A and B are shown apart, each in its own frame.
Chain A
Amino acid sequence: MMDMIFNPLVGGLLIGLTTTIYLLTLGKVIGISGILSQLLFSKERFLPFLFIAGLIIGGAAYGTLTEQTVDFLEVRSPWLLIASGLLVGYGTRLGGGCTSGHGVCGISRLSPRSIIATLTFMLAAIMTVAVLN
């Protein structure tokens, strides 16, 4: 039960520390959807590549680093994942950010755009889960 508070608390502090280091050294915000689209569509691909590679390596520590409190879901329908990916890919670019760029970095600097975006995608996601369940 403690893990249900301890893990997200420590993980969140680490994410906040990471966005702060990135900001104070490189002068930019961490937005995963933005960094990924730079990797795909911009001419300066080296740094975005390093960041995304690091993110995947760090995330692969899943399950070896910490005891998990919640089991993975069984593998779901490809069509559900494809629909989700298309909406996330298009929506984050149209809206200019995702959970990291708007949700963490944007709210940290009290950006009105990011606060509105975060409330909007949270509400849309909560309603989607309510309909699905």
Chain B
Amino acid sequence: MSAIVTLITGILFGLGLAFSEMTNPAVVIGFLDIFGNWNPSLLIVMASAIAVGMLGYIIKNKQIKPLLSNKWQVPSLRHIDSKLIIGSVLFGIGWGLSGYCPGPGLTALINNPAEGFYFISALIIGSGLHYFQARSGLK
């Protein structure tokens, strides 16, 4: 059952990205270009997603456990550290360069393979670099 829910939520998430045109980097760059011809799409997507998400957390707080699992696995970290800030700055620069964040980059493998291939290959190398760095305990 968890497998079916995971597949269906993956499809729904992809449909949401596609319908809101977040899979098109031109729309994302249009949002980030606040000094140019501004396109508010991404703000509308995030605001409506967050509004529904907040209702979800209100329901969650009245439940003892999830329907298909024995425990909640919601991130509980609260501290703000340099990793959070530096990581977010690097991510933001990369996002601004192409207009792709991870989800739209994955859909580009089909929608725009000439771009998706380079972006996702490099994204995998970048994540791998962090994985092996963290595993070997390097700072």
Q: Are A12 and B45 in contact (CB under 8 A)?
A: yes
Min C-beta distance of B52 to chain A, whole Å: 3
Do A117 and B65 contact each other (CB < 8 Å), given the known contacts A8-B45, A33-B127, A66-B18? Answer: no
Q: Tell me how many residues of B have a C-beta within 8 Å of chain A.
A: 113
Q: Taking chain B's interface residues, is the majority helix, strand, or loop, or is none over half, making it mixed?
A: helix
- What number of A-B contacts does a CB cutoff of 8 Å give? 466
Interface 0/1 of B72-88, CB less than 8 Å to A: 11110111100111111
B95: contacting residue among A21, A46, A121, CB under 8 A: A121
Min C-beta distance of B44 to chain A, whole Å: 4
Do A88 and B5 contact each other (CB < 8 Å), given the known contacts A26-B69, A61-B18? Answer: no
Min C-beta distance of B41 to chain A, whole Å: 4
| Set of chain A residues within 8 Å of B2, measured between Cβ atoms | 25-26, 47
Min C-beta distance of B63 to chain A, whole Å: 7
**A-B contact list, 7 entries, CB within 8 Å:** A19-B52, A21-B5, A30-B9, A89-B127, A92-B101, A113-B77, A117-B88
Q: Apart from A113-B78, A129-B96, what are 7 other A-B pairs with CB-CB below 8 Å?
A: A72-B24, A78-B118, A89-B125, A89-B126, A91-B94, A92-B101, A130-B33
